[in-house]
Amino acid sequence: MKPALGVTEPGAIALAAANAYEAVGGRLQKISLELDTGLYKNAYACAIPGTKAFGIETAALLGILAGEPRLELQVLANVSEEDVEKAQELKQSNVVTTKLKEDAEGIYLDCKVITDQGWGRCLILNNHTNVVLLENDQNIIFKQKPQSGPRQGQSFKTGSVADFLQFTNEVPFEEIAFVLEAVQMNKRLGKAAEEAGMGLASALEELERQNTLAGDVFLRAQFLTAAAMDARMGGMPLPAMSISGSGSHGIIATMPIAAVAEAEKIGEEKLARAVVLSFLVNMFIKEYSGRLSAFCGCAIAAGTGASAGIVHLMGGGKKQIESAINNMAANITGMICDGGNYGCSLKAATAARAAVMSAFLAMADRTVPANAGIVGVTAEETMRNMGKIAAPGMQGTEKVIIEIIREKNE
């Protein structure tokens, strides 16, 4: 869990470019990027934080012009209007080239910066801030042996709902109180979008004022979630708290729970424990789906986590949590990811509403049975099946999405 300024993928590109440039210095001549398809898809149409600019080339150029590598995913925190103008000028001169590494199994980001003093290179693998190689034409500055496979860190594959629930209930509050900062940070992000009248959230608010939509916890969950996503996609210069390497996951894993906590006037400790369970369920699903895939992990994995967290918040036990997971799997699994863009707010709002509905149904002992589609005999099997839909299930879908995006850019 760490703050992320703007959509994670442009931030990772800016981070790689900033590191590569710092390794060589001098007057910029060319930037060469090689990206996995997920990074490409999620960065090509995203607004850069604090600017009205967007895209892969701009992110790389701003990383060089104003990036602070030590800030990691907040690398562009100090970008100025002058930096943006300069980046746009350089972009027109085609100094940035991008190619895809279609056989990458996980996050792959290779950035080479050529200047009048030589070249610098930064290689990031497996997660958005994991620099495994930093070098220039004179020497290797840093080299880390990559771990096998696309994932790093502790594996959740051997965990279970029972394990997650036991940890959630028994961990001392003081050891998890820090997760409340994720709730507050993501709320601040949404508040900024609300005040600016941005995107989907402002439309939902207007519909409520006109009594087109009744004010209820479903709408509040959608509003809080969509507002934070609007701000993130729109380049608001405020961070989201990320989980699984994604600020969007962090938003969807927290905001629906926060909405229910507000409505039910639930205290901080119960809220923190619900968020912890949400994070654990999200991370379990991500272990099987991968970090970047053709299905919308933000909605599906984080939304399922949120639904489990809402059940815990309302006093439900293991049975009801498993029911909520099954309900979410039967509902929104298969939603595609077509990159980071304003459509993400719509997907997030859909996930938020589904999370609340699935939780409420579970609390009423209503669930989709194990003989239905991808729903498993156990919740763990259900979550593994959700991951299988992403990979290998939707690998062909990913290729088609990338083809469509590239055709639009030609």
119 sits in which H/E element? strand 118-125
What's the pTM value of the predicted model, to 2 decimals?
0.87
Helix (H) / strand (E) element for 297: namely helix 297-297
Please report, as a single letter, which amino acid is at residue 242.
S
96-100 vs 118-125, strand pairing mode: unpaired
pLDDT in tens, the chain (410 residues): 878 777 888 999 999 999 999 999 999 999 999 999 999 998 998 888 778 788 999 999 999 999 999 999 889 989 999 999 999 999 999 999 999 998 898 899 999 999 999 999 999 998 899 999 999 999 999 999 755 544 445 567 889 999 999 999 999 999 999 999 999 999 999 999 888 877 777 777 776 666 554 458 999 999 999 999 999 888 888 889 988 878 899 999 999 999 999 999 999 999 999 999 999 999 999 999 976 678 999 999 999 999 999 999 999 999 999 999 999 999 999 999 999 888 999 999 999 999 999 999 999 999 999 999 999 999 999 999 999 999 889 989 999 999 999 998 77
How far apart, in whole angstroms, are the C-alpha atoms of residue 216 and residue 336? 28
For 305, the token pair is 């986590």
- State the pLDDT at residue 202: 76
Distances (CA, A) of 325 to 217, 321, 365, 381: 20, 6, 13, 11
Q: How high is the pLDDT of residue 189?
A: 93
CATH architecture of the domain 2-143 equals 2-Layer Sandwich (3.30)
Question: For residues 401 and 13, what is the distance between their CA atoms, to the nearest angstrom?
Answer: 21
CA-nearest of 143, 87, 136 to 112 is 136
Asked if residue 131 lies in contact with residue 124, where contact means CB atoms within 8 angstroms, the answer is: yes
Q: What's the token pair of residue 225? A: 């979630």
User: Is residue 314 a contact partner of residue 359, using CB atoms and an 8 Å limit?
Assistant: yes
* Kind and range of the H or E run holding 100: strand 96-100
**C-alpha count within 13 angstroms, C-beta hemisphere, residue 99:** 5
Cα 366 to Cα 216, 278, 320, 325: the distances in Å are 21, 20, 9, 12
The residue extents of the domains of the chain are 2-143, 161-409
pLDDT of residue 176: 97
Of the candidates 81, 9, 3, the one whose C-alpha atom is nearest the C-alpha of residue 45 is 9
The total of other beta-carbon atoms located within 10 Å of residue 225's CB is 36
Distance, CA of 168 to CA of 12 (rounded, Å): 31
Q: State which H helix or E strand residue 10 sits in.
A: helix 8-22
Q: Which CATH architecture has domain 161-409?
A: Orthogonal Bundle (1.10)
Q: What distances in angstroms separate CA 46 from CA 7, 233, 339, one per listed residue?
A: 7, 6, 8
CA distance 235 to 238: 8
338, two tokens: 């077509």
Cβ(343)–Cβ(386) below 8 Å: no
Distance of alpha carbon 208 from alpha carbon 333, whole angstroms: 29
What amino acid occupies position 208? E
Measured at the alpha carbon of residue 118, what is the angle toward residues 114 and 120, in degrees to the nearest 5?
60
DSSP class of residue 46 equals P
Query: How many angstroms from the chain centroid is the CA of residue 134?
Result: 25
Alpha carbon 54 to its chain centroid, in Å, reads 17
3-state secondary structure of 110: strand
Looking from the CA of 120 toward its CB, the CA atoms found within 13 Å total 22
- What is the total residue count of the chain? 410
Asked if residues 342 and 336 have their Cβ atoms less than 8 Å apart, the reply is no
